C-alpha cells in the first residue's frame, strides 16, 4: 500500500485516500454543442495508461481535498504530487 | 517402547522441564524447548506423514518452516484444532495432541499407499487426460478425488482465540536474527535509529548460535559464543524492539510489511485463555534490512524421500540445538562442505557417522581431514543411486559419478544406515526480496539467484544476499550497513574471522542413476509427489515456461510453496531444454512467506466489530419499544414496531393506517445532510440538480433530483434555503457519503471558481418527522411559540425556532403526502424531543412507524425511492418526472446524456403504477412483467419495483418499470410467477390523493 | 478462416486465466447477458469431451447471498428474469441457504444476516489452466501457430485498416487482428490510436492450505464482499474485490485482502484457524457498465474482446466462439450484438452492476 504525500496534510497511508482516475479531462464547457461521439469520448473513453499516468486522488478520510498525482502504473511508483489547478511538475 | 535418542544435554533445552504430549494417540515425552519434530526424533519416530498423491511414507526432512512432509493436525475434534501444522515449527507444550494427516486408517498402514503401486498410471497431469468418459461421470470421479485430496481437516466450530493488529512505524526493520541480522540490529540501534528485529524462531542467533567448533571463530572465540555475547548486548538496547516467533509474511511496496507474531501457540491450552493468540504486525519501515539467511538444498536421486532422509543442516540443528540424534548410523550425501560440519558435530557428541558420499572428486578441506581423522569413510566423486527401507531408510547404494557427472559408472556399493543427511548447497532465501519487487540475478559459480535490483529503501545482507560463508558475512555485512545506513563506522569493522570451510561445490541438479529415468522416483516436490520424471514429461508435452511446468506437475504448489525443490525444478528444466538458468524465469514467490492464519489477518474485526454500526440518538428508545431493525448501509434503522405478537405485515398495516388517520412519528435522522454555504451556493445547486434553484426564496424547501453524468438518477432529497448564501441539502441514507464526495469533486476540480463550502452534518442533526392529520396539534404543543398557520408556515417552507432553550429547524415537508413536520435538532437533544412528541402525542394517537411503513406510505403517493424504483438505467424522463428537468438551464450534471440516441427513445422502461385484478393479491418485488406469456422466448417488459397492500386504499398497489409504460395506461399485463400468472393493469403511480389535499389537512 | 496465429507476451494462460477463481455461472440479469453467458455455459457442459482434455468442469452450484432488503429485491428480480430466459435459478430463503451450505453462519445476530439467496445448480467451477491448455492443444492440432514470449510493439495501419503487427519477434502481416489482452487491452488500443472505455485495476485472490472437503459449492456475497469455493485439491479459493486505482503492477493493496477475509470470517467463523497459503493479483479491465465488449472498432480489421472486469473466465468458450464469429464475418453474432463498443455513444448500456443498492 502506498504512502501518499497529501499536499495539504503530508504523508499518509493509502487507505485514507480514494483514487479518481485519469486527470486533466476537463468537463466540456458546452456539452450541448457536442455530438454523441464527442460526449462519449469525455464520459467514457480513457487512455488507461501503462506507465506514467497523470491521475486524480482525494484525501477522502482526511482533508477531503482533491489533488493530482503522477504515478507509474506499471510498478505503482509515485513520481510527483501537485495541487488541482497547478501545472504538472514533470512531463 | 521406543529408543531414547537424546544424546547430549543442550543449553537450549530445559531438561528439568519434562513435557508430555500425544502423537497419533500414544503418549510421549520431550522437554521444554523441543519442537514436535525434535521431540519425535528423540523418541526415534521419523515416519510422521504420507505424501499427497502416492501416500508414500514420509519423515521429518528439515527443522524449519520449509518442511514439506511432516504436517500434522493439532487437537483433532476440538475447537482449537488446526490442520497442516508443521511439526518442525510447533513447540511442544503439556497436553499437545497431534496426529498424522492424509492417511487412513493410520500412518503406519495407509490404504492410499496403493497409489504408490499405481504410480505409473498417475503421471503429472493425469487428471487432464482421464476421467472424461462418460461425460456424466466426472462428478462421480471428482467426489473421490476430492476426498483423497486435501491434507488436514478444517475446524468445524468457531475459533475460541482472539487476534490483534499492531501498527509499527520504525526507522529500520531487520528481518531475521541470524548473525547478520544481529550485526545489523546492533549497528542500526546504536546509531540512534528506531529499530525492529524479528525472527520466526523462538530464539535468536540463527544457525550460528549453535555453531560450536574450533573450525569457525570470530575474534578468536567460537562463533556461537561470540554471537551469544552480541545477543546479550543488544537485548539491553532501548530503541531496539525484538520480536521472536515473528515471521514476516509479506513484503509489499513502499516498505509495508506484514508479520505474524505468535504469542500463545507454545503454551498449554489452559494458559491461553483471554490472551491474544497471534498479532498481525503492520510495519511501515523507512528502511528494511532483509537477513533471512538461506535454505539448504536437498539432492535429487532415486527414492530420495524415505523417512530418515533429512537435510544435513537439519541433522546438525537437531543435534546441536535440541541434543537429539536423528540416527545411530549416519551417512551423508553432499556436494559441498556443509555435511562435514554436521558430521563433526555428530562425532563430537559421540554419534556414529558411517560415511560421507561426496559428489566432488577433488576436495581440499580442513573439515574433510578432520572427518577422515575420525575414521569416517569419504567416497569422493560418488553419488547415491538408490535407497531402501519402506518406513525408514536402512540402506543406500552408491556408484561412482562419471567425469561430466551425467552418468554413474562402476559397480554398486551398498551401505546400511538408519539416517541419511543430504546437502545440495545453499539457496539464498530471496522470497521477501522478490515479493517486494526486487529483481534477481543468477550467480554461476554456485548456481544461486541473488538480489540484483532493489525496488525500495532496502538491502539484503548475509546468506540471503549470497554471502553463504561466515567469512563473507563478517567481511561484507559491515560494509553494506555503512553505506545503507549512511554511517561512518560499525563495531564490526575490524573483526577477525576464521573458517575452515571450503567454498567448492559440484552442482548436479538431477543426480544420475543406473536406472532409466522412467523407473526412478526422484522427488523434487515432496509434498505434492512431483518427480524429475514428471518435470521432463511436462517438457516433452510442450510446456516450456517454469510457470507451466509448475502448474502441470504441481511442483512448488504445496504448503511449503516449493522452498526446497523449486531451484531443482528450474535446474532440471534448463538442463533438459539446454538453456541458461533464469531464462525460463523463476517462479513468482507469492506472499505469504509462510501460511498466515485468517484470524490473524482479520484481527479484532470479527463479530460485532465486523463493521461499525451507526445508530441514531433515538436508537435506545427504538430498542425499548421493541423495534425490529433494518440494515441500511451502516445504519440500523427502525423497520417496524410490532405490538402484541404482530407479524411485520400486521404491524405495518396498523402503523400505516395510524399515520394517515391520526399521527405517525418517524426517526429520519439517517438521511444525509450537507450544509452548503457561499455566495455561489445557488449557482452550485443549479449545476448539480436537474431543476432550477436561483428563484427559491429564503425559508423555502425544494425537492431535487441529482443525476450521474451519464444521465441516470443518482440521488434525491429536499434542500432548504436557510439564508441568502446558505442551504441544507438532504440526501438518501445510503447515498450521503457518495453525494458529498461527488459534489466536492465537481466543486474542487471542475468549478473551483465557485465560492461554495460543503460540510457533512448528518451526525450533528437528528431528524424527527411527525405526520398525519393530528401532526399540527402535536407540534403546536411541542413548540407552542411557533405559528403553524398555513399563511405563516406553508408546505415546503422552514422556520428557525427553539424548543426550550435549544435552537432547531422545523421543515414542513412530506414524504407521506400527509400534513407533516420535520424537526431538525442538535443530535444530543433529539431523544428528549422525540419523547416529548410521544408524550404530547398520546392524546392524538401518535404511532411510531418504521422504514417499512414509510415505504408503503410514499408508494401510495407514487414517490420513488432511488435504488429501489430506480437502478443505474433510469433517467428522470423514464420516471415520468419530466417536470423536474429544467428546460431552461443551459447545463447540469448529466443533462447532455439525456439527449443521446438511446436515452431519447420513447420505448424505454418507464415508471408506472400497477394494480392487480384481484385487489388482495400482493405482487412480489422483483417479479418480471410481460404482455404475452405464449411468446417464446418470453419478452420481459420490466419488473415490479415496489409492492404493498395499502390499508388506506384497501387494495394492493405496486410500482414498476415497463418498456413503453408511459403509453400503456389501463393496459392489461401479466406477471408470470413460477406456478401461476397474475393479471395486472397499468395505472397512474399516484394512488392516493392526487390533488394533494391532505398536505394541508 | 485459415492461417491463424496467437501472439502472447508471456506464456499462455499466464494472465487472468491462470489467476482467476474459476467460477462459472450464467445467472445474469439482462437478456443480452443471459444469452451470452448461457451460450458459454452450454459449451462448458461438453467442453472436456470436445477438447478431449479434462477441464474438470464441476457443476456444484453457485449461490449468491442477500444481506439487506434491496439485495433480496435484486436477487428475486434476477431469479425471475433468469427463469423466463430459460436459465436455471432458484430463490432460497435463509433456512434453504443453510441447508444447501451448512457451514454458513446464518444467525440473525450477525452484523449483516443472510436474508436469502439464489442458487444456480448448473453453475460451478473448472480447472483454469486446463482450459487454456486444452484449447491450446486443440488450436495447435488445427494448425494455429501459438507464439509465446512474443510481445506486440505496434499495430501497423493502412489508413483506416490494419496491415499487421510489429512484435518482438518480428513483423506479422495480417488484415485482421483480434485483441484479447484483458488488462492490457487499452495498451494495445492505444497503439492503434484508439481509446476504450476501460480502466485496468488490481484484482486479488488467495487460497488457503488444502483441507479435506468442507464446502461443496460456490458461495458469493456482494454486500459482504466475499466469495469462496474449494478446489479439487482442497484449497479454499477466495476472491477479493478490486482496488480503485489504475495499475498494471499485478499487485493490490492489503486492505482489500483483509476486508475480504473479514467478510469470510463473518460468514464462516469456522475458517478462523485456516491459513492463507498464497495470494496474488491480476489486472482486470473494467467497463463502466460492468459488461464486456466483443466488437468491431472504427479501424477495419481490428476487433476487441475486452472489458470483462472481474468475470471473464466463465464466458471463455462463449466469448471465444462469438469473437471468432465476429472476426470471420466482420459482423457480430446476434448474441454479442449488444456488446458493441458503440453502446457507450448511444447510451444503450448493459448495466450489470445490479440495481444500485442505494438506500433511502
Task: Show the domain range for A75.
Answer: 3-25+34-83
Residues C315/C36, Cβ–Cβ less than 8 Å: yes
Domain-located, residue A78 = yes
Closest Cβ–Cβ partner in B83, B900, B924 for C211: B83
Query: Which pLDDT tens digit goes with each residue over B770-829?
Result: 999 999 999 999 999 999 999 999 999 999 999 999 999 999 999 999 999 999 999 999
Whether residues B235 and B329 share a domain: the answer is no
Full strand arrangement of the beta sheet holding C170-173: C152-158, C161-167, C170-173
Question: Does the beta-carbon distance from B890 to A32 stay under 8 Å?
Answer: yes
Residue with cell 457442459: C45
Domain-located, residue A11 = yes
The pLDDT score that the predictor gives to residue C360 is 34
Q: Are strands B955-963 and B940-950 parallel, antiparallel or unpaired?
A: antiparallel
* Domain containing residue B195: CATH number: 3.50.50.60
Question: Does the beta-carbon distance from B709 to A66 stay under 8 Å?
Answer: no
**Nearest C-alpha of chain B: how many angstroms from C318?**
20
User: Is pLDDT at C107 greater than 50 in this prediction?
Assistant: yes
**Nearest C-alpha of chain C: how many angstroms from B352?**
39
Question: Does the beta-carbon distance from B254 to A2 stay under 8 Å?
Answer: yes
Closest Cβ–Cβ partner in B455, B709, B899 for A43: B709
Closest Cβ–Cβ partner in A1, A27, A36 for B252: A1
Task: Show the domain range for B926.
Answer: 897-1000
- DSSP designation for B773: T
Q: pLDDT-derived band of residue C359, with 50, 70 and 90 as boundaries?
A: very low
The pLDDT score that the predictor gives to residue C184 is 97
The residues in B 732-771 lying below 8 A from C, measured between CB atoms, are 732-735
Query: Which pLDDT tens digit goes with each residue over B514-537?
Result: 999 999 999 999 988 899 999 999
Scanning C53-169, the segments in alpha helix (DSSP H) are: 69-84, 94-100, 128-141
The full DSSP string for B345-392 is HHHHTT--EEEEEES-SS---HHHHHHHHTT-EEEETEEEEEEE-SSS
Residues 6+ away with beta carbon under 8 Å from B752: A84, A85
Whether residues B245 and B381 share a domain: the answer is no
The residues in C 321-350 lying below 8 A from B, measured between CB atoms, are 343, 345-349
Rg (CA), chain A: 14
pLDDT above 90 covers what percent of chain B? 85
Closest Cβ–Cβ partner in C12, C211, C358 for B732: C358
Question: Does the beta-carbon distance from B128 to C54 stay under 8 Å?
Answer: yes
| Domain final residue, candidates B547, B579, B596 | B596
**Nearest C-alpha of chain B: how many angstroms from C202?**
14
| Chain mean pLDDT for chain B | 94
CB pairs under 8 A between A and B: 51
The pLDDT score that the predictor gives to residue C164 is 96
Neighbours of chain C (3+ CB pairs under 8 A): A, B
Domain-located, residue A51 = yes
Q: Which ipTM score applies to this complex?
A: 0.97
Question: Does the beta-carbon distance from C269 to B866 stay under 8 Å?
Answer: no
Whether residues B232 and B134 share a domain: the answer is no
* β strands within B491-552, DSSP E: 497-499, 523-525, 530-531
Burial of B201 (0-12, 13-18, 19+ CB in 10 A): buried
Query: Which pLDDT tens digit goes with each residue over B108-158?
Result: 766 666 666 666 666 777 777 777 777 767 777 778 778 777 789 999 999
Q: Three-state SS string across B615-675, please?
A: CCCCHHHHHHCCCEEEEECCEEEEEECCCCCCCHHHHHHHHHHHHHHCEEEEECCCCEEEE
User: Is pLDDT at B901 greater than 60 in this prediction?
Assistant: yes
Residues 6+ away with beta carbon under 8 Å from C293: C196, C197, C287, C304, C305, C306, C307, C339, C340, C341
Closest Cβ–Cβ partner in C195, C248, C344 for A74: C248
Question: Does the beta-carbon distance from C199 to A21 stay under 8 Å?
Answer: yes
* β strands within B669-756, DSSP E: 672-677, 701-707, 713-723, 726-731
Question: Does the beta-carbon distance from B896 to A39 stay under 8 Å?
Answer: yes
* Residue C275, CB-side half-sphere exposure with 13 Å CA sphere: 25
CA-to-CA distance for B727 and B733, rounded, in angstroms?
18
* pLDDT tens-digit profile, chain A (91 residues): 999 999 999 999 999 999 999 999 999 999 999 999 999 999 999 999 999 999 999 999 999 999 999 999 999 999 999 999 998 886 5
Task: Tell me the angle at which helices B566-577 and B532-540 cross, rounded to the nearest 10 degrees.
Answer: 40
| Chain mean pLDDT for chain C | 94
Query: Which pLDDT tens digit goes with each residue over C215-238?
Result: 999 999 987 888 999 999 899 999
3-class secondary structure, C293: strand
Question: Does the beta-carbon distance from C249 to A75 stay under 8 Å?
Answer: yes
CA-to-CA distance for B176 and B646, rounded, in angstroms?
64
Question: Does the beta-carbon distance from A44 to C190 stay under 8 Å?
Answer: no
Question: Does the beta-carbon distance from B598 to C86 stay under 8 Å?
Answer: no
Whether residues B195 and B305 share a domain: the answer is no
CA-to-CA distance for C237 and C21, rounded, in angstroms?
6
CA-to-CA distance for B72 and B328, rounded, in angstroms?
26
User: Is pLDDT at C355 greater than 60 in this prediction?
Assistant: no
- Chain B residues close to C249, C-beta within 8 Å: 253
Q: pLDDT-derived band of residue C353, with 50, 70 and 90 as boundaries?
A: confident
The pLDDT score that the predictor gives to residue B139 is 76
Burial of B994 (0-12, 13-18, 19+ CB in 10 A): exposed
Q: What residue in C sits closest to A37 (Cα-Cα)?
A: C345
C-alpha cell at B760: 457533512
CA-to-CA distance for B516 and C218, rounded, in angstroms?
45
Picking from C174, C65, C184, the residue whose alpha carbon sits closest to that of residue C115 is C65
User: Is pLDDT at B106 greater than 80 in this prediction?
Assistant: no
Q: pLDDT-derived band of residue B614, with 50, 70 and 90 as boundaries?
A: very high
- Chain C residues close to A21, C-beta within 8 Å: 199, 246
Domain-located, residue B569 = yes
Per-residue burial over C128-157, b = 16 or more CB atoms within 10 Å of its CB, e = otherwise:
bbbbbbbbbbebeeeebebebebebeebbb
**Nearest C-alpha of chain A: how many angstroms from B610?**
17
Whether residues B705 and B850 share a domain: the answer is yes
Query: Which pLDDT tens digit goes with each residue over B196-213?
Result: 999 999 999 999 999 999
User: Is pLDDT at B421 greater than 70 in this prediction?
Assistant: yes
Per-residue burial over B44-82, b = 16 or more CB atoms within 10 Å of its CB, e = otherwise:
bbbbbbbbbbbbbbbbbbbbbbbbbbbbbbbbbeeebbb
* Vertex B180: Cα angle to B176 and B183 (nearest 5): 105
Query: CA-CA distances (angstroms) from residue B771 to B417, B540, B670, B671, B776?
Result: 92, 80, 18, 17, 8
Peptide bond into B34 cis (omega under 30): no
Q: B401 or B580, which is more confident?
A: B401
Residues B772/B1000, Cβ–Cβ less than 8 Å: no
* Domain containing residue B142: CATH number: 3.10.20.440
Query: CA-CA distances (angstroms) from residue C118 to B985, C77, C80, C105, C123?
Result: 29, 11, 11, 16, 12
Closest Cβ–Cβ partner in A18, A46, A75 for C195: A46
CA-to-CA distance for B448 and B471, rounded, in angstroms?
18
Whether residues B684 and B759 share a domain: the answer is yes
Query: Which pLDDT tens digit goes with each residue over B955-1000?
Result: 999 999 999 999 999 999 999 999 999 999 999 999 999 999 999 8
* Residue C210, CB-side half-sphere exposure with 13 Å CA sphere: 23
CB pairs under 8 A between A and C: 73
- DSSP designation for C53: S
C-alpha cell at B238: 532501548
Q: What residue in C sits closest to B930 (Cα-Cα)?
A: C84
The pLDDT score that the predictor gives to residue C87 is 95
- Chain C residues close to B767, C-beta within 8 Å: none
C-alpha cell at A12: 499518509
Question: Does the beta-carbon distance from B902 to C348 stay under 8 Å?
Answer: yes
Residues B175/B181, Cβ–Cβ less than 8 Å: yes
Length of chain B as a residue count: 1001
Whether residues B345 and B434 share a domain: the answer is no
CA-to-CA distance for B813 and B767, rounded, in angstroms?
12
Query: CA-CA distances (angstroms) from residue B445 to B429, B449, B546, B565?
Result: 18, 11, 22, 19
The residues in B 258-277 lying below 8 A from C, measured between CB atoms, are 258
| Domain final residue, candidates B453, B488, B517 | B517
The residues in B 742-801 lying below 8 A from A, measured between CB atoms, are 744-745, 748-750, 752
Q: What residue in C sits closest to A16 (Cα-Cα)?
A: C255
CA-to-CA distance for B42 and B64, rounded, in angstroms?
17
Query: CA-CA distances (angstroms) from residue B563 to B200, B337, B566, B673?
Result: 16, 21, 6, 56
C-alpha cell at B405: 557427472
Neighbours of chain B (3+ CB pairs under 8 A): A, C
Domain-located, residue B471 = yes
C-alpha cell at B90: 510447533
Helix H or strand E segment including B167: strand B162-175
Whether residues B713 and B837 share a domain: the answer is yes
Domain-located, residue A18 = yes
Closest Cβ–Cβ partner in B254, B744, B895 for A3: B254
Number of domains in chain B: 6
Q: What residue in C sits closest to B84 (Cα-Cα)?
A: C209
Full strand arrangement of the beta sheet holding C199-208: B596-597, C275-286, C199-208, C236-242, C226-230, C218-221, C62-66, C116-120, C90-92
Flag the least confident range among B163-172, B732-741, B928-937: B928-937
Whether residues B199 and B278 share a domain: the answer is yes
Domain-located, residue B911 = yes
Domain-located, residue A90 = no
Domain-located, residue B651 = no
Query: Which pLDDT tens digit goes with each residue over C4-37?
Result: 999 999 999 999 999 999 999 999 999 999 999 9
User: Is pLDDT at C40 greater than 70 in this prediction?
Assistant: yes
CA-to-CA distance for B183 and B171, rounded, in angstroms?
16
The residues in C 113-142 lying below 8 A from B, measured between CB atoms, are 127, 129-130, 133-134
Question: Does the beta-carbon distance from C196 to A53 stay under 8 Å?
Answer: no
- DSSP designation for B748: I
Question: Does the beta-carbon distance from C345 to A21 stay under 8 Å?
Answer: no
CB distance from A75 to chain B under 8 Å?
Answer: yes
Domain-located, residue A89 = no
- Chain A residues close to B712, C-beta within 8 Å: none
Query: Which pLDDT tens digit goes with each residue over B204-238?
Result: 999 999 999 999 999 999 999 999 999 999 999 99
CB distance from A45 to chain B under 8 Å?
Answer: no
Q: pLDDT-derived band of residue C357, with 50, 70 and 90 as boundaries?
A: very low
Whether residues B841 and B700 share a domain: the answer is yes
**Nearest C-alpha of chain A: how many angstroms from B737?**
10
Amino acid at each position: 500500500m502506498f504512502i501518499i504525500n497529501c499536499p495539504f496534510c503530508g504523508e499518509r497511508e493509502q487507505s485514507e485516500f480514494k483514487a479518481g482516475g485519469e486527470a486533466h479531462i476537463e468537463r466540456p464547457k458546452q456539452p450541448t454543442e457536442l455530438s454523441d461521439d464527442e460526449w462519449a469520448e469525455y464520459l467514457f473513453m480513457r487512455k488507461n495508461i501503462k506507465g506514467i499516468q497523470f491521475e486524480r486522488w482525494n484525501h477522502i478520510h482526511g482533508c477531503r481535498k482533491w489533488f493530482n498525482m503522477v504515478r507509474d502504473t506499471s510498478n505503482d511508483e509515485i513520481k510527483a504530487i501537485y495541487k488541482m489547478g497547478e501545472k504538472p511538475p514533470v512531463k | 517402547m521406543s529408543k531414547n535418542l537424546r544424546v547430549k544435554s543442550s543449553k537450549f533445552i530445559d531438561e528439568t522441564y519434562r513435557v508430555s504430549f500425544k502423537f497419533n494417540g500414544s503418549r510421549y515425552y520431550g522437554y521444554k524447548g523441543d519442537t514436535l519434530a525434535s521431540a519425535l526424533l528423540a523418541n526415534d519416530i521419523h515416519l510422521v506423514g504420507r505424501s499427497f498423491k502416492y501416500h508414500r511414507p514420509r519423515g521429518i526432512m528439515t527443522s524449519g518452516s520449509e518442511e514439506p512432509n511432516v504436517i500434522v493436525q493439532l487437537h483433532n475434534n476440538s475447537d482449537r484444532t488446526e490442520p497442516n501444522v508443521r511439526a518442525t515449527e510447533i513447540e511442544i507444550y503439556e497436553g499437545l495432541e497431534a496426529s498424522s494427516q492424509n492417511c487412513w486408517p493410520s500412518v503406519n498402514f495407509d490404504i492410499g499407499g496403493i497409489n504408490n503401486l499405481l504410480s505409473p498410471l498417475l503421471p503429472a497431469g493425469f487428471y487432464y487426460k482421464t476421467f472424461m468418459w462418460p461425460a456424466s461421470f466426472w462428478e462421480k470421479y471428482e467426489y473421490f478425488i476430492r476426498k483423497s485430496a486435501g491434507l488436514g481437516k478444517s475446524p468445524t466450530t468457531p475459533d475460541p482465540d482472539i487476534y490483534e493488529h499492531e501498527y509499527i512505524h520504525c526507522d529500520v526493520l531487520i528481518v531475521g536474527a541470524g548473525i547478520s541480522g544481529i550485526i545489523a540490529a546492533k549497528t542500526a540501534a546504536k546509531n540512534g535509529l528506531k529499530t525492529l528485529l524479528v525472527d520466526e524462531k523462538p530464539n535468536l542467533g540463527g544457525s550460528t548460535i549453535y555453531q560450536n567448533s574450533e573450525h569457525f571463530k570470530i575474534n578468536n572465540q567460537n562463533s556461537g559464543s561470540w554471537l551469544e555475547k552480541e545477543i546479550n548486548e543488544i537485548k539491553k538496547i532501548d530503541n531496539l524492539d525484538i520480536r521472536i516467533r515473528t515471521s514476516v509474511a509479506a513484503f509489499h511496496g513502499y516498505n509495508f510489511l506484514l508479520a505474524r507474531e505468535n504469542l500463545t501457540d507454545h503454551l498449554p491450552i489452559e494458559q491461553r485463555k483471554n490472551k491474544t493468540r497471534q498479532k498481525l504486525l503492520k510495519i511501515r519501515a523507512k528502511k528494511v534490512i532483509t537477513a533471512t539467511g538461506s535454505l539448504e538444498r536437498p539432492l535429487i536421486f532415486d527414492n530420495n524421500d524415505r523417512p530418515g532422509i533429512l537435510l544435513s543442516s537439519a541433522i546438525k540443528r537437531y543435534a546441536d540445538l535440541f541434543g537429539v540424534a536423528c540416527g545411530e548410523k549416519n551417512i551423508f550425501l553432499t556436494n559441498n562442505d556443509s555435511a562435514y560440519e554436521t558430521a563433526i558435530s555428530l562425532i563430537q557428541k559421540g554419534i556414529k557417522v558411517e560415511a560421507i558420499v561426496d559428489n566432488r572428486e577433488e576436495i581440499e578441506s580442513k573439515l574433510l581431514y578432520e572427518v577422515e581423522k575420525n575414521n569416517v569413510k569419504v567416497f569422493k566423486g560418488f553419488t547415491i543411486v538408490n535407497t531402501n527401507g519402506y518406513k525408514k531408510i536402512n540402506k543406500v547404494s552408491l556408484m561412482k559419478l562419471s567425469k561430466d557427472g551425467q552418468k554413474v559408472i562402476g559397480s554398486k556399493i551398498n551401505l546400511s544406515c538408519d539416517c541419511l543427511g543430504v546437502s545440495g548447497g545453499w539457496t539464498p532465501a530471496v522470497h521477501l526480496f522478490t515479493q517486494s519487487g526486487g529483481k534477481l540475478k543468477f550467480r554461476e559459480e554456485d548456481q544461486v539467484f541473488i538480489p540484483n535490483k532493489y525496488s525500495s529503501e532496502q538491502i539484503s545482507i548475509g546468506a540471503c544476499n549470497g554471502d553463504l560463508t561466515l567469512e563473507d558475512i563478517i567481511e561484507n555485512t559491515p560494509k553494506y550497513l555503512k553505506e545503507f545506513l549512511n554511517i561512518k563506522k560499525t563495531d564490526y569493522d575490524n573483526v577477525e574471522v576464521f573458517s575452515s570451510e571450503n567454498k567448492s561445490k559440484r552442482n548436479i541438479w538431477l543426480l544420475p542413476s543406473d536406472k532409466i529415468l522412467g523407473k526412478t522416483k526422484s522427488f523434487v516436490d515432496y509434498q505434492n509427489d512431483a518427480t524429475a520424471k514428471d518435470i521432463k514429461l511436462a517438457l516433452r508435452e510442450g510446456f516450456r515456461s517454469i510457470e507451466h511446468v509448475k502448474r502441470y506437475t504441481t511442483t512448488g504448489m504445496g504448503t511449503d510453496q516449493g522452498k526446497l525443490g523449486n531451484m531443482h525444478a528450474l535446474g532440471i528444466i534448463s538442463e533438459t531444454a539446454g538453456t541458461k538458468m533464469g531464462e525460463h524465469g523463476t517462479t513468482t514467490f507469492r506472499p505469504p512467506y509462510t501460511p498466515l492464519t485468517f484470524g490473524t489477518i482479520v484481527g479484532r474485526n470479527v463479530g460485532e466489530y465486523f463493521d461499525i454500526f451507526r445508530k441514531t440518538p433515538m436508537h435506545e428508545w427504538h430498542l425499548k419499544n421493541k423495534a425490529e431493525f433494518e440494515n441500511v448501509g451502516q445504519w440500523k434503522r427502525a423497520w417496524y414496531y410490532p405490538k402484541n405478537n404482530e407479524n411485520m405485515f400486521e404491524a405495518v398495516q396498523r402503523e400505516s393506517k395510524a399515520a394517515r388517520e391520526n399521527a405517525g412519528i418517524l426517526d429520519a435522522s439517517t438521511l444525509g445532510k450537507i450544509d452548503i454555504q457561499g455566495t455561489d451556493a445557488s449557482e452550485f445547486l443549479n449545476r448539480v440538480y436537474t431543476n432550477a434553484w436561483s428563484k427559491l426564496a429564503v425559508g423555502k424547501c425544494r425537492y431535487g433530483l441529482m443525476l450521474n453524468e451519464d444521465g441516470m438518477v443518482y440521488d434525491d432529497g429536499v434542500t432548504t434555503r436557510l439564508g441568502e448564501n446558505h442551504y441544507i441539502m438532504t440526501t438518501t441514507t445510503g447515498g450521503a457519503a457518495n453525494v458529498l464526495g461527488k459534489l466536492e469533486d465537481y466543486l474542487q476540480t471542475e468549478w473551483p471558481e465557485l465560492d461554495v463550502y460543503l460540510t457533512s452534518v448528518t451526525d450533528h442533526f437528528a431528524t424527527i418527522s411527525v405526520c398525519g392529520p393530528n401532526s399540527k396539534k402535536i407540534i403546536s404543543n411541542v413548540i407552542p411559540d411557533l405559528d403553524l398557520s398555513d399563511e405563516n408556515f406553508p408546505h415546503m417552507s422552514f422556520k428557525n425556532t427553539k424548543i426550550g432553550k435549544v435552537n432547531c429547524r422545523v421543515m414542513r415537508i412530506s414524504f407521506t403526502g400527509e400534513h407533516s413536520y420535520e424537526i431538525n435538532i442538535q443530535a444530543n437533544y433529539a431523544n428528549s424531543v422525540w419523547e416529548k412528541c410521544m408524550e404530547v402525542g398520546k392524546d392524538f394517537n401518535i404511532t411510531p412507524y418504521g422504514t417499512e411503513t414509510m415505504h408503503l406510505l410514499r408508494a401510495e403517493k407514487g414517490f420513488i425511492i432511488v435504488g429501489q424504483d430506480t437502478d443505474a438505467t433510469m433517467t428522470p424522463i423514464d420516471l415520468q418526472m419530466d417536470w423536474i428537468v429544467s428546460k431552461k438551464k443551459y447545463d447540469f450534471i448529466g443533462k447532455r446524456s439525456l439527449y443521446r440516441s438511446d436515452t431519447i427513445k420513447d420505448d424505454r422502461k418507464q415508471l408506472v403504477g400497477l394494480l392487480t385484478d384481484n385487489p388482495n393479491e400482493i405482487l412480489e418485488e422483483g417479479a418480471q412483467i410481460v404482455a404475452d406469456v405464449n411468446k417464446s422466448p418470453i419478452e420481459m417488459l420490466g419488473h415490479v419495483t415496489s409492492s404493498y397492500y395499502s390499508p388506506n386504499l384497501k387494495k394492493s398497489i405496486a410500482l414498476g418499470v415497463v418498456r413503453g409504460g408511459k403509453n400503456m395506461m389501463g393496459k392489461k399485463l401479466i406477471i408470470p410467477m413460477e406456478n401461476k400468472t397474475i393479471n395486472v393493469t397499468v395505472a397512474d403511480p399516484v394512488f392516493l390523493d392526487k390533488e394533494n389535499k391532505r398536505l394541508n389537512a | 478462416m485459415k492461417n491463424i496465429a496467437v501472439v502472447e507476451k508471456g506464456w499462455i494462460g499466464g494472465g487472468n486465466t491462470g489467476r482467476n477463481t474459476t467460477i462459472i455461472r450464467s445467472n445474469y440479469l439482462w437478456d443480452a447477458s443471459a444469452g451470452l453467458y448461457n451460450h458459454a455455459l452450454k459449451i462448458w457442459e461438453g467442453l472436456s469431451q470436445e477438447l478431449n482434455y479434462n477441464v474438470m468442469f464441476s457443476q456444484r452450484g453457485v449461490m449468491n447471498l442477500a444481506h439487506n432488503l434491496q439485495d433480496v429485491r435484486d436477487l428475486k428480480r434476477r431469479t425471475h428474469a433468469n427463469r423466463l430466459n430459460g436459465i436455471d435459478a432458484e430463490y432460497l430463503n435463509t433456512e434453504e441457504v443453510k441447508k444447501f451450505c451448512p457451514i454458513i453462519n446464518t444467525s440473525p445476530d450477525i452484523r449483516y444476516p443472510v436474508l436469502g439467496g439464489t442458487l444456480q445448480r448448473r453453475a460451478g467451477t473448472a480447472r483454469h489452466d486446463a482450459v487454456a491448455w486444452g484449447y491450446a492443444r486443440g488450436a495447435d492440432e488445427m494448425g494455429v501457430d501459438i507464439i509465446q514470449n512474443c510481445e506486440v510493439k505496434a499495430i501497423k495501419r493502412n489508413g483506416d485498416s490494419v496491415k499487421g503487427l510489429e512484435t518482438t519477434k518480428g513483423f506479422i502481416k495480417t488484415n485482421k487482428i483480434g485483441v484479447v489482452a484483458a488488462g492490457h487491452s487499452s495498451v494495445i488500443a492505444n497503439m492503434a490510436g484508439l481509446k476504450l472505455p476501460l480502466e485496468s485495476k488490481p484484482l486479488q485472490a488467495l487460497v488457503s492450505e488444502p483441507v479435506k472437503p468442507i464446502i461443496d459449492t460456490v458461495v458469493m456475497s456482494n454486500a459482504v464482499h466475499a466469495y469462496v469455493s474449494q478446489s479439487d485439491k482442497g484449497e479454499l479459493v477466495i476472491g477479493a474485490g478490486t482496488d480503485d486505482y489504475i495499475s498494471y503492477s499485478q499487485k493490490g493493496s492489503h486492505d482489500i485482502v483483509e476486508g475480504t477475509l473479514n467478510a469470510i470470517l463473518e460468514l464462516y467463523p469456522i475458517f478462523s484457524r485456516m491459513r492463507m497459503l498464497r495470494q496474488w493479483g491480476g489486472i482486470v479491465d473494467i467497463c463502466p457498465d460492468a459488461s464486456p465488449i466483443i466488437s468491431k472498432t472504427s479501424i477495419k480489421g481490428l476487433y476487441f474482446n475486452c472489458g470483462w472486469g472481474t468475470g471473464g473466465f466463465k464466458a471463455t468458450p462463449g466469448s471465444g466462439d462469438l469473437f471468432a464469429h465476429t472476426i470471420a464475418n466482420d459482423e457480430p453474432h446476434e448474441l454479442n450484438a449488444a456488446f458493441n463498443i458503440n453502446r457507450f455513444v448511444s447510451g444503450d448500456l448493459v448495466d450489470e452492476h445490479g440495481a444500485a443498492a442505494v438506500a433511502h
